[in-house]
Amino acid sequence: MWHQGENDMFDKAFKPAYAANLKNFIACWRRDLKLPNLRFYLGELCTKTIWGMDNRDNMLAIRTAQKAVAEADPLTDYIPTSHDAVEIGGEAGLHYHYGTLGQLEHGVNYADSYLRSISIKTGTDRPLKVWPYAKGSPVKLFILAGHRNMEGERAFKQELGAMAADNPKIAFKYNLGGGFKTSNGWEPLGPAGPYDTFGPELSFAKTLEATEKGNIAIAKFTHSGTQMNDWTPEGTEAKDMHVYPAFIAFIKESMDELTAKGHQVELAGILYHAGENDMAFGGYRRQAAKWLQSTVAQSRQDLAMPAVKWFVSQQPPSDEKGLNKIDVTADLAAITAADPAFIHIKAFDLSPQEEKLVITTAGIVELGELLGRSYLEHR
């Protein structure tokens, strides 16, 4: 299991030679140990860190080299890590590294990949045994989307109580961590994150069930290693992080599948939690509203739904002297003023969290409730 490469990206000689060096490195292990079939597992450079924003070009070069080596070698696996938890430095600002939680998750990723290589299945099946909606009945589909807190990085089902039980009355489909974990078709709504984690979808659904009549289905698309510019129609130079095409395809696929089952489908809303990293880094914070507005506009065009509602929640932006002059909250509110189908939700009163930026279990539950109340108010 090999996780290395950050410092190579800063050296003009090391960076372009990374793929060749890595290939030779692996070959030397196999030669010197006289193990020609020795397997290697290469850990991704985590794009959730600050370097995922201010060193995009450098990280892309190393990531591309790692992937190329893995693709050319059937005994080498590339291990995604950008969905794993990272710690955000205190006095050091936004310098992120794996902490205890991220290291544990990193190890799980390697173990799962190894077990798959010897044909041992990992994870558990969550089948939707009985389709919950009457044939021909209408279904309201809600799309939940976003980054680390929509994914539910630090919200664990062991802290949930009764809400942790699967709800077979609501069909749930998901694509998490940029495809790291995907549902097996439609599953019952429940905690489905890769490490016993969950997002605001559970309390969102519970809030709606209390008053909303009729059928509801939820489809969730997240990638906590992305930033808001990765969700724009044009993306960035890091094409492997460009999630917009997959996001739109996911929405269309979800609607088509429900339609194929005989339902009249209403896309009731897209609920997006604004990027946490973007709010804490100057250049990104300055562009966040502009990026989001372009995503919203193009999504309506690509879905042929010019009036589809976007419910955009925002947690308190980082309170730092150098950043406070960039009023991202006002920028998002300005979109609402010009677009009646854009609902800006200030999630500023959630339960306190220990880590910077990262909402924990109680706050994630409250975020889902807030999203639910906002939908009910603006439906």
pLDDT tens figures, 47-70? 998 888 989 999 999 999 999 999
Q: What is the 3-state secondary structure (H, E, C) of 25-37?
A: HHHHHHHHCCCCC
Are 250 and 267 within 8 A, CB to CB? no
Residues spanned by the domain of 92? 7-117
The domain tally of the chain equals 2
Instruction: Please list the pLDDT of the chain residue by residue as tens digits (379 residues).
Output: 999 888 899 999 999 999 999 999 999 999 999 999 999 999 998 899 888 898 999 999 999 999 999 999 999 999 999 999 988 776 545 667 888 999 999 999 999 999 999 999 998 899 999 999 999 999 999 999 999 999 999 999 999 988 999 999 999 999 999 999 999 999 999 999 999 999 999 999 999 999 988 999 999 999 999 999 999 999 999 999 999 999 999 999 999 999 999 999 999 999 999 999 999 899 999 999 999 999 999 999 999 999 999 999 999 998 888 899 999 999 999 999 999 999 999 999 999 988 888 999 999 999 999 999 999 999 9
Query: Does 42 fall in a domain?
Result: yes
Here the CATH number for the domain that contains residue 323 is 3.40.50.1110
Query: Does 48 fall in a domain?
Result: yes
DSSP 121-187: --S------S--S-TT--EEEEEEEESHHHHTTB-BGGGTGGGGS-EEEEEEEEEETTTTEE-SSSE
pLDDT of residue 238: 94
Kindly state whether residues 92 and 191 are assigned to the same domain: no
Residue at which a domain ends, from 87, 117, 147? 117
Find all residues with CB under 8 Å of 38, minimum gap 6, and list them: 29, 30, 75
Kindly state whether residues 329 and 374 are assigned to the same domain: yes
Find all residues with CB under 8 Å of 250, minimum gap 6, and list them: 175, 219, 221
β-strand partners of 172: 187, 218
Kindly state whether residues 143 and 113 are assigned to the same domain: no
Kindly state whether residues 88 and 186 are assigned to the same domain: no
Are 208 and 254 within 8 A, CB to CB? no
Kindly state whether residues 18 and 167 are assigned to the same domain: no
Kindly state whether residues 252 and 368 are assigned to the same domain: yes
Question: Taking Cα atoms as reference points, which of 343, 228, 250, 345 lies closest to residue 295?
Answer: 228
Query: Does 373 fall in a domain?
Result: yes
pLDDT of residue 94: 60
Are 368 and 273 within 8 A, CB to CB? no
Rounded (to 5) percent helix, strand, coil in the chain: 40, 20, 40
Residue at which a domain ends, from 63, 82, 117? 117
Kindly state whether residues 327 and 201 are assigned to the same domain: yes
pLDDT of residue 6: 84
Kindly state whether residues 178 and 72 are assigned to the same domain: no
Query: Does 311 fall in a domain?
Result: yes
pLDDT of residue 93: 53
Kindly state whether residues 145 and 293 are assigned to the same domain: yes
Query: Does 132 fall in a domain?
Result: no
Query: Does 205 fall in a domain?
Result: yes
Compute the distance between CA of residue 209 and CA of residue 215 in angstroms, rounded to an integer.
9
User: For the chain, what's the residue count?
Assistant: 379
Kindly state whether residues 145 and 100 are assigned to the same domain: no
* pLDDT tens-digit readout, 318-354: 888 889 999 999 999 999 999 999 999 999 999 998 8
pLDDT of residue 96: 72
Residue at which a domain ends, from 85, 117, 149? 117
Query: Does 102 fall in a domain?
Result: yes
**Assigned token pair, 28:** 């030397």
